[in-house]
Structure 1
């Protein structure tokens, strides 16, 4: 899975990281829906940190479409309210 963080770069995550990434995304959605500024900031920072720590950065000249697009780290709670809705930005893993 390829994840782009706007204002940062693209990262390749192993398939087995999809479920934990989705869980972190769900935590961001829950905090946004609750209007919890501190919870949002903590959850969003954890989501970005997970991608950066578990992912392998792609070379700048490697052009691959992203499976997941994440907003930049400075996204406000108000802005997040327009991004993190419903299922969030990370599609649910396919069971099978």
Structure 2
């Protein structure tokens, strides 16, 4: 019998997925958090990983390794809500 309990990736895995997706040579200027969640999901339940992706994105942004955008403009990683996108800082 298979164990149906979900196994969640680590915070470090989420950070690595975000940076890998945003840093691809063919990547658009920004990526959607859903892309990182889907990359981390071992099953179809990627929506449950969105809070993990958000926490990882906030940490990366606070350390200067990522920019969080809302409506095309950088936002304060400690204080934003709604739909957002993720991108590398200018200059990579």
Same fold (TM over 0.5): no
Q: Which structure has the higher relative contact order (CA within 8 Å, separation 6+)?
A: 1
Band the TM-score falls in, shorter-chain normalisation: 0.3 to 0.5
| TM-score under structure 1 length normalisation | 0.32
More helix by share: 1
